[in-house]
Amino acid sequence: MTHYQKLIEAAAYLKQFVQENTKTSVILGSGLGNFVKEIEIVNEIPYEQIPHFPVSTVKGHHGKLIFGNVAGKPILAMAGRFHLYEGYGKEEVVFPIRIMKMLGIETILMSNAAGGVNLSFKVGDLMIIKDHISLATKNPLIGANDDRLGTRFPDMSEPYKKSLIQKAKEIAREHNITLKEGVYFGVTGPTFETRAEYKMIHVLGGDAVGMSTVPETIAAVHAGMNVFAMSVITDIGIREEENVITHEEVLEAAQNAEPIFSTVFRELIRTL
CA distance linking residue 40 with residue 42, whole number of Å:
7
The arithmetic mean of pLDDT across residues 234-251, rounded, is: 72
Q: What number of other Cβ atoms are within 10 A of residue 246's Cβ? A: 10
Higher pLDDT, 238 or 126: 126
Report pLDDT for 236. 85
Level-2 CATH architecture, domain 3-271 = 3-Layer(aba) Sandwich (3.40)
What integer is the mean pLDDT of 68-93?
94
pLDDT of res. 67: 97
pLDDT of residue 29: 83
Q: How far apart are CA 222 and CA 3, in angstroms?
A: 16
Residue 212 confidence (pLDDT): 96
| 59 pLDDT higher than 70 | no
Q: Single out the residue of 206, 183, 233, 180 nearest to residue 197, CA to CA.
A: 206
Rounded distance between C-alpha atoms, residue 168 and residue 11, angstroms: 30
Look at 36 and 269; give whichever has higher pLDDT.
Answer: 269
Domains of the chain by residue range: 3-271
Q: What is the pLDDT of residue 253?
A: 72
Q: What is the pLDDT of residues 247-261, one digit of tens each?
A: 777 777 777 788 889
Q: What angle do CA 266, 179, 175 make, to 5 degrees?
A: 50
> What's the pLDDT at 5?
97
Report residue 199: phi and psi, to 5°.
Answer: -65, -40
Q: What is the pLDDT of residues 10-34, one digit of tens each?
A: 999 999 999 999 999 999 987 677 7
Quick check: 50 pLDDT over 70? yes
Q: Give helix 247-271 / helix 162-174 axis angle, nearest 10°.
A: 100
Distance CA 18, CA 237 (A): 41
Q: What's the whole-number average pLDDT of the chain? A: 92
Taking the C-alpha atoms of residue 137 and residue 212, their distance in angstroms, rounded to an integer, is 9
Buried-state track 103-130, b at ≥16 Cβ within 10 A, e below 16: bebebbbbbbbbbbbbeebebebbbbbb
pLDDT computed for residue 244 by the predictor: 67
| pLDDT the model gives residue 87 | 93
Check pLDDT > 70 for residue 69. yes
User: What confidence score (pLDDT) does residue 60 get?
Assistant: 56
Q: What pLDDT, in 10s, does the model give residues 130-182? A: 999 999 999 999 999 999 999 999 999 999 999 999 999 999 999 999 999 99
Residue 138's SS3 state is coil
- Model pTM score: 0.94
Report whether pLDDT(74) > 60: yes
d(CA 173, CA 168): 9
DSSP state of 140: T
Among 155, 145, 136, 127, CA closest to 84? 136
Res. 121: pLDDT tops 60: yes
Looking at per-residue pLDDT, the higher value among 56 and 234 belongs to 234
pLDDT at position 144, please? Answer: 95
When pLDDT is cut at 50, 70 and 90, the band that residue 55 belongs to is: confident
